[in-house]
Structure 1
Amino acid sequence: MKRWIRRTALGAAVLLGLAAVAAWAGTWYADRKAQRRIDLPPYPLAAKNDPAAIERGHYLYASRGCADCHGDNAGGRVVIDDAKTGFFVRGADISPGGAHVVAAYSPADWERSIRHGVRPDGRPLLVMPSEDYNRLTDDDVAALMAYLQQLPPAAGEPALVRMPILVKLLYAAGVIQDAAEKIDHLRAPSQPVPEDVSVAHGSYVANMCLGCHGSQLSGGKIPGAPPDWPAAANLTPGDGSALTRYADAPQFALMMRSGRRPDGSAVSPVMPFASLARMNDTDLAALYLYLKTVPPRPAGGR
């Protein structure tokens, strides 16, 4: 019996040792991966600073989720602070001036960060949802830049990401990806379409949904999200579709602005309603129209 106990204890010690080595190797590789360089040629983005561009940039900043991570004043804010796991994410101060991270950004740097999730030095931006912005037109990227550059300097801080060991291991294994891994960096920029209630414009607006609802818009568990976050809804007309709750575009728009379904029940606050509520009528109606036309897919396929 004593020999069996010793063997069991030795086996457990060996397994614990192997687990510790694997955890160390995984975290080392995750840190190395986060420091890799991604070689992208500078994109010749034409800068704008006219009032129309600034107004468009303000609208995009407010309604496309930028303020959710960077705050209404672009001074940055805490996005995730999970005491249970130690997962912490603070969006950077991206207002102009001083020693702020964007103080010396060129138009090419803005384009690379927004569309590709890559810093000017080539390292990935770990929590930047560039998969949502990769398809922005040149005019819209320039409009965002124009709006941000004319803001007053804020008193924020740089970005900070603290990943718990499990998230680091999943990141090292490729289960959780940074934005730069998810993007086709050779994709040509989207071409402008008329801003009206059309499937084409709705398709353009729907790009903002890809990060949470997946490239096929069928939802599922959001990779890298805190474990208590619910799965993203299926936005296609397939099995388990969330669209069946909304008989028409006005009902859909009301939910996007109020956070409540037609029956009065609350949608998960994980949805960025602070931004979604600022979308205009045209964008919301076009988005609903487009979602009704996408190929049906079962829920959870992302």
Structure 2
Amino acid sequence: MKPTLRQAGLPRRARTVNLVAAGVLVLAQLLHASLLSSAQAATATQPSESTQTAAAAAPDNRPEIVKRGEYLARAGDCIACHTAPRGRLFAGGLAMETPFGTLFSPNITPDPQYGIGTWSEEAFFKMLRTGLRPDGSPLYPAMPIAQYTKVTREDSNAIFAFLRSIEPVRQPNRKHTLRFPYNKRELLYGWRALYFREGEFQPDPAQSVEWNRGAYLVQGLGHCTMCHTRINMLGGSSEREQFAGGLIPVQNWYAPSLTSDKDGGLGDWTIDDIVDLLQAGVSKRGAVYGPMAEVTYHSLQYLTDEDVRAMAVYLKSLPDVRGRKSGPSATPDPKVFALGKQIYADKCAICHGENGEGELPHYPPLAANQSIEMDSAVNPIRIVLNGGFPPATKRNPHPYGMPPFAQELNDEEAAAVVTFIRTAWGNHGQPVTAREVNELRKAPLH
């Protein structure tokens, strides 16, 4: 029996937080006069609390609409941010650490004082479409406003009907603790001018219905670009680098490319490989770890086969925006390579094979494994130090995990074994240093 949102476990998922960096302060100062009037106009057009309470049209709360809303909330992974560890469902309070301070997710239960109990369908939809709160103030882009703006009105109404059906929780919202000047919401108008484009997803008539469904889920509710696109110094991302991969700020995990890049992307993957990874958490090409494991656990495993396949079809079509080509292995220091080879034989070969061939589906191959060979060595270093644990899913209810070796290996030894697996068996990764290992050893676990 499929667990509902009320029954599922709630391990914490840290979310990428796109905030305005220092350069936006200058931009905001330049744009402040013109944007302030726009903000005031926006505020004037938003429904007041009393207007929302007295909304003429009650939300459609038929059981089939609520059920569809629950499914869409799964697709949007709303539970990940709006439920704190050991907290009440959707009552908010999840602390999201950023380089600029801490944000706390809001209560979105139907509580009239602290949640969305006084909101109307219209107010909820306008929040998704415009990224503005009912009082007209802008949301911090920890909420994926640049993606949720693509959600249709019908889907917005269904999600709202579901949220109105859950148990209200009288839990006050915690105040953000951001450093000056990032605690000034008016700075967000500068960010919005650069990176927010309001508008519903528009299907491409040249593509299939399946492709368009996948594009809608990936670009909109799935908000995949939040992690899989590099964040620049202004806290935004470039259109040219969409889905090309990047380091997730604060979390210290590298989200790989989802384009057809053969070096670190999906260029050599089959549709079935992508489906298996998204839905089961394991595939012939590897397994999900870190933040992606939580996405699969909370969200993707519950989507229909048709929707997951549609997402895979769309992702498989994304062009290679970097054009990187696989090259020969670097030549590591012979002593480092020999040390790594010995450690691998002692601790790794029993599961991953003498030549990195792995043992599917439980132990992924390390030879010709893109996550091992990528330019960034963050993920293999973290997995060696902290272990790797795919999520339990309907299709893989008893996953095999990799134990952590942080207590067994010092920085030099960990660097040696990671260097070995990145350069052995024809892998074309670069060596790593003890300093890189030490930096990630000190990084917080998420």
* TM-score normalised per structure 2: 0.49
How far did 1:134 drift?
1.0
How far did 1:90 drift?
1.9
In the alignment, which residue of structure 1 is the partner of 2:332? none
1:267 corresponds to 2:289: yes
Match of 2:261 among 223, 238, 242: 238
Between the aligned partners of 2:179 and 2:108, the Cα distance in structure 1 is 25
Between the aligned partners of 1:277 and 1:244, the Cα distance in structure 2 is 23
- The size of the alignment, in residue pairs, is 261
1:288 corresponds to 2:303: no
Between the aligned partners of 2:215 and 2:180, the Cα distance in structure 1 is 37
Structure 2 counterparts to residues 252-263 of structure 1, below 5 A = 252-260=274-282, 262-263=284-285
The structure with higher relative contact order (CA 8 Å, sep 6+) is 1
In the alignment, which residue of structure 2 is the partner of 1:6? none
In structure 2, give the amino acid aligned to 1:267.
Answer: Y
In the alignment, which residue of structure 1 is the partner of 2:197? 184
Between the aligned partners of 1:143 and 1:282, the Cα distance in structure 2 is 20
Assess, with a 3 A threshold, how the Cα gap between structure 1 residues 203 and 148 changes in structure 2: closer, same or farther.
same
Give percent identity, aligned residues only.
Answer: 23
In the alignment, which residue of structure 1 is the partner of 2:163? 148
* TM-score normalised per structure 1: 0.70
1:134 corresponds to 2:149: yes
Assess, with a 3 A threshold, how the Cα gap between structure 1 residues 142 and 173 changes in structure 2: closer, same or farther.
closer
1:279 corresponds to 2:303: yes
1:56 corresponds to 2:68: yes
Structure 2: gaps spanning 5 or more residues: 1-21, 48-56, 230-238, 325-446
Between the aligned partners of 1:111 and 1:200, the Cα distance in structure 2 is 22
**Aligned residues of 1:233 and 1:299 also touching (Cα < 8 A):** no
In the alignment, which residue of structure 2 is the partner of 1:219? 245
SS at 2:308's partner residue?
helix
How far did 1:135 drift?
0.9
In the alignment, which residue of structure 2 is the partner of 1:204? 216
Assess, with a 3 A threshold, how the Cα gap between structure 1 residues 158 and 254 changes in structure 2: closer, same or farther.
same
How far did 1:88 drift?
2.0
In the alignment, which residue of structure 1 is the partner of 2:81? 69
Assess, with a 3 A threshold, how the Cα gap between structure 1 residues 266 and 57 changes in structure 2: closer, same or farther.
closer
Match of 1:297 among 306, 311, 321: 321
In the alignment, which residue of structure 1 is the partner of 2:128? 114
Between the aligned partners of 2:281 and 2:74, the Cα distance in structure 1 is 17
Structure 1: gaps spanning 5 or more residues: 1-22
In the alignment, which residue of structure 1 is the partner of 2:102? 88
Between the aligned partners of 2:316 and 2:176, the Cα distance in structure 1 is 37
Between the aligned partners of 2:187 and 2:323, the Cα distance in structure 1 is 27
How far did 1:174 drift?
8.9
In the alignment, which residue of structure 1 is the partner of 2:349? none
**Aligned residues of 1:56 and 1:144 also touching (Cα < 8 A):** yes
Structure number with larger C-alpha Rg: 2
Over the residues paired in the alignment, what is the CA RMSD in angstroms? Answer: 4.0
Between the aligned partners of 2:104 and 2:268, the Cα distance in structure 1 is 34
Between the aligned partners of 1:238 and 1:46, the Cα distance in structure 2 is 48
Assess, with a 3 A threshold, how the Cα gap between structure 1 residues 59 and 192 changes in structure 2: closer, same or farther.
farther
How far did 1:286 drift?
0.4
